[in-house]
Chains A and B, each alone.
Chain A
Amino acid sequence: GQNIDQPTEMTATEGAIVQINCTYQTSGFNGLFWYQQHAGEAPTFLSYNVLDGLEEKGRFSSFLSRSKGYSYLLLKELQMKDSATYLCAVYDSNYQLIWGAGTKLIIKP
């Protein structure tokens, strides 16, 4: 079967750095997305990785290792507004987007 694993919940301190991991077992791989979702709101696109390596976008970076079936989202200089659920999603060999259950990130002052 197809599976995406993310930690259910993480806690971090304002101003710190946090890394949210995502491992996937899918039938093929055609790219990985990270989305941010605040409670009761729509998911918003953060990043897309299809090749190995690090993609940096401001305070957020996303890393991919296709050989390990692994990605992480790195959030720096955490702000209270970063409290949200972070969703990892992978396009499989049939170009179906498989979604993880999400990681709820709690930022404490």
Chain B
Amino acid sequence: DSGVTQTPKHLITATGQRVTLRCSPRSGDLSVYWYQQSLDQGLQFLIQYYNGEERAKGNILERFSAQQFPDLHSELNLSSLELGDSALYFCASSSGTGHTDTQYFGPGTRLTVL
């Protein structure tokens, strides 16, 4: 158990809909990262937040947005969902005290778009 929690574990929805994925980082961690992993594909970095501020952006679609709240939990919002958005979405956290922190991953949310 990494200490990172994600809800929900599974999500099934229809095309065109909007969903929110939630992540709570390990106690004391200030950085949160979001990743997308499609079936049998590698990890695609989406976005990083540090202490409430956006720090880095990867290949995140404009239909996707995220934020980190004062209590450091984070939410990833996915809108106008398409079939191709079906994937595992992982959240990871790190202490944020150094540039080369180890990232610890949550169990993921499996999103299925029908």
Contacts and interface: CB of A to CB of B under 8 A. Distances in A.
Interface residues of B, number: 18
Contact of A48 (B43, B99, B102, B110): B102
Give the interface size class of chain A.
Answer: 20 to 34
Contacts, number: 42
Interface of B: 2, 41-43, 45, 56, 88, 90, 99-100, 102-108, 110
A33 B102 contact: yes
Given A42-B108, A97-B103, 9 more contacts: A30-B99, A30-B100, A40-B88, A43-B43, A95-B100, A99-B42, A99-B43, A101-B42, A102-B42
Contacts of B88: 40
Query: In terms of DSSP, what is the predominant structure of the interface of chain A?
Result: loop
A87 B43 CA distance: 9
User: What secondary structure prevails in chain B residues at the interface with A?
Assistant: loop
A105 interface: no
